[in-house]
C-alpha cells in the first residue's frame, strides 16, 4: 500500500517542476520586455517594401522654348514707317505686323518699268530693221538673178553672131566675163542673205535677254514692295519687334521674331558634375502642373557655362496647353531604370552605404535586420536582399538605438 502511495506522488512532483520552470521563463520574458527600449509609434516613420519599376534620375531645370522661331527680315533698305503689333501680341497667319516706307522703292519701280518699256521697244525696232534689211537683200538677189539671165542670153547671142562673122572673139569673151561677174555678185548676195537670216535670231535674242533681265529686276522689286508690309507666317506670338519708328534698316536686317505656339522644346541646364551620365536619347521627365510630361535629349551643347551643361530636349507632347514660352520647369533626367525590383521609400534612417541594419516591424516590436541596398532615387532606394515585399520598416532616424537589436513600439 505504501508503494502505491509513493508512485502516485511522482506525477504531482513533475507537475510542480514544470510549473516552476514556466514561472521562471515567464519571469525572464517579463523582465526582458521591461528592459527593452520603448519608442512611441507616433515618433516613427514607417516604410513598406514594395515591388515594381524604379528609375534613377538627375534633377535639372528646363526653360520652355518654341520649337521653331521665325525671323522676319527687311526686304528693302528703307525706314520703319508704322508698328502694327506690339511685343507679346498673338498673331494669326497673314496678320500685318510692321509697315516699311516704300516711297523710294516705288520711284525705283517706275524707273525700271520705263526702262523695260524702252528695251522692249528697242527689241521691236531691231527686229523690224533686220527684217527690212533681209527683204532688201532678197530683192537685190532677185534683180541680180534677172541680170544673170540677161547676160546668159547675151553670151548665147554673141556665140551665134560670131558663128556668122557678126561678132569678134574679144566681144564673146567680154560677154562671158560679164556673166561670170554677175554670177559671183549673185552668190555674194545669197551668202549675205543667209548670214542675215541666221544672225537676226541672235541679235534679237541679245536685246530680249537684256529686256528679260530688266523685267526680272522690276518684278523682284515689286515683290519686295509687297513684302514691305510684314505679315505673320505662322500662328504664334511676337517675341521681339523693331519698334523704333523711322529707324533706318538695311535689306536683310531682322525686324521681328515670331514664336510658333503649336510646338515647344526645352533647353535644360544640369550641373557639369553629371557630365559623364548625360547622353543623347535619354528619357526626360518634366513636371507640369502636378503632371509629368515625357521627352528625350536630342542634343548636348559642347560648351560648359557657369559649371552647367545645356541640353536640348524634344518633348513627346509638343503642344501641351500647360507650356508657355520662357517658362521654367523642374526636370528629371533618367539615368538608370529597373523594370522589376524591390524598393523602400527614402527616409532619414537610410544612410549611405550598400549594407545597413534596419528595424523591421513585427507586431509591437521591431527587430534589427541586415539589409543590402542598391541604387537610390530622390524618394526610393532599391532593396537587393534582407527584405520582402510587404515588410514594414522603420525609416526614421534610429541612431539612438544602434546598439540595440530590438525595440518595443507602443
- Mark whether 118 and 219 lie in a shared domain: yes
Instruction: Kindly report the length of the chain.
Output: 410
Spatial separation of the C-alpha atoms in residues 254 and 241, rounded to whole Å: 9
Structural domain for 186, as ranges: 103-226
Cβ neighbours around 309 below 10 Å, total: 20
- Mark whether 201 and 284 lie in a shared domain: no
Q: Residue 244 in 3-state DSSP?
A: coil
CA dist 354 → 372, 375, 387, 404 (Å) = 6, 9, 14, 21
Q: Which three cell numbers stand for residue 75?
A: 526686304
- Mark whether 142 and 251 lie in a shared domain: no
- Mark whether 210 and 269 lie in a shared domain: no
DSSP result, 192-205:
HHHHHHHHHHHHHH
Task: Give 348-406 pLDDT, tens digit per residue.
Answer: 888 878 898 899 998 888 999 999 998 887 788 899 999 999 999 999 988 888 888 88
Instruction: Provide, for the chain, the percentages of residues in helix, strand and coil under a 3-state DSSP scheme, each rounded to the nearest 5.
Output: 40, 35, 25
- Mark whether 250 and 182 lie in a shared domain: no
Spatial separation of the C-alpha atoms in residues 68 and 99, rounded to whole Å: 24
State the total domains in the chain: 3
Q: Are 277 and 271 spatial neighbours (Cβ–Cβ below 8 Å)?
A: no
pTM listed for this prediction: 0.48
Give the burial string for 128-154 (b: 16+ CB within 10 Å, else e).
Answer: eebeeebeebeebbeebeebbeebeeb
- Mark whether 305 and 381 lie in a shared domain: yes
CATH number, domain containing residue 362: 2.40.30.170
Task: Give 319-361 pLDDT, tens digit per residue.
Answer: 777 777 778 889 988 888 877 889 999 898 888 788 988 999 9
- Mark whether 273 and 316 lie in a shared domain: yes
Q: Are 109 and 221 spatial neighbours (Cβ–Cβ below 8 Å)?
A: yes
- Mark whether 43 and 117 lie in a shared domain: no
Task: Give 130-184 pLDDT, tens digit per residue.
Answer: 788 888 888 888 888 888 888 888 888 888 887 877 778 888 788 888 888 888 8
Amino acid at each position: 500500500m505504501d508503494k502505491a502511495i509513493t508512485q502516485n506522488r511522482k506525477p504531482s512532483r513533475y507537475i510542480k517542476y514544470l510549473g516552476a520552470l514556466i514561472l521562471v521563463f515567464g519571469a525572464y520574458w517579463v523582465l526582458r520586455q521591461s528592459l527593452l527600449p520603448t519608442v512611441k509609434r507616433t515618433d516613427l516613420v514607417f516604410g513598406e517594401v514594395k515591388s515594381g519599376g524604379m528609375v534613377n534620375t538627375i534633377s535639372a531645370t528646363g526653360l520652355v522654348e518654341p520649337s521653331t522661331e521665325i525671323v522676319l527680315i527687311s526686304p528693302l533698305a528703307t525706314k520703319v514707317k508704322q508698328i502694327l503689333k506690339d511685343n507679346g501680341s498673338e498673331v494669326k497667319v497673314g496678320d500685318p505686323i510692321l509697315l516699311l516706307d516704300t516711297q523710294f522703292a516705288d520711284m525705283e519701280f517706275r524707273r525700271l518699268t520705263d526702262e523695260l518699256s524702252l528695251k522692249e521697244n528697242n527689241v521691236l525696232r531691231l527686229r523690224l530693221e533686220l527684217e527690212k534689211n533681209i527683204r532688201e537683200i532678197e530683192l537685190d538677189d532677185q534683180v541680180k538673178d534677172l541680170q544673170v539671165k540677161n547676160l546668159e542670153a547675151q553670151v548665147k547671142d554673141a556665140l551665134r553672131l560670131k558663128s556668122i562673122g557678126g561678132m569678134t572673139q574679144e566681144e564673146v569673151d567680154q560677154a562671158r566675163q560679164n556673166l561670170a561677174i554677175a554670177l559671183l555678185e549673185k552668190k555674194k548676195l545669197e551668202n549675205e542673205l543667209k548670214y542675215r537670216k541666221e544672225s537676226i535670231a541672235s541679235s534679237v535674242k541679245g536685246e530680249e535677254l537684256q529686256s528679260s533681265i530688266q523685267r526680272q529686276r522690276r518684278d523682284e522689286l515689286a515683290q519686295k514692295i509687297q513684302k514691305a508690309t510684314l505679315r505673320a507666317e505662322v500662328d504664334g506670338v511676337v517675341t521681339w519687334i523693331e519698334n523704333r519708328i523711322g529707324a533706318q534698316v538695311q535689306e536683310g536686317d531682322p525686324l521681328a521674331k515670331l514664336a510658333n505656339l503649336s510646338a515647344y522644346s526645352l533647353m535644360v541646364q544640369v550641373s557639369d558634375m553629371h557630365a559623364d551620365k548625360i547622353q543623347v536619347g535619354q528619357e526626360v521627365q518634366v513636371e507640369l502642373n502636378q503632371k509629368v510630361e515625357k521627352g528625350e535629349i536630342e542634343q548636348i551643347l559642347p560648351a560648359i557655362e557657369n559649371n552647367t551643361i545645356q541640353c536640348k530636349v524634344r518633348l513627346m507632347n509638343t503642344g501641351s496647353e500647360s507650356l508657355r514660352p520662357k517658362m521654367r520647369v523642374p526636370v528629371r533626367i533618367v539615368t538608370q531604370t529597373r523594370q522589376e525590383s524591390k524598393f523602400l521609400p527614402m527616409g532619414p534612417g537610410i544612410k549611405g552605404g550598400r549594407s545597413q541594419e534596419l528595424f523591421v516591424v513585427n507586431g509591437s516590436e521591431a527587430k534589427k535586420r541586415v539589409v543590402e541596398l542598391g541604387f537610390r532615387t530622390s524618394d526610393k532606394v532599391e532593396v537587393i536582399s534582407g527584405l520582402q515585399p510587404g515588410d514594414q520598416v522603420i525609416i526614421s532616424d534610429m541612431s539612438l538605438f544602434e546598439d540595440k537589436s530590438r525595440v518595443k513600439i507602443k
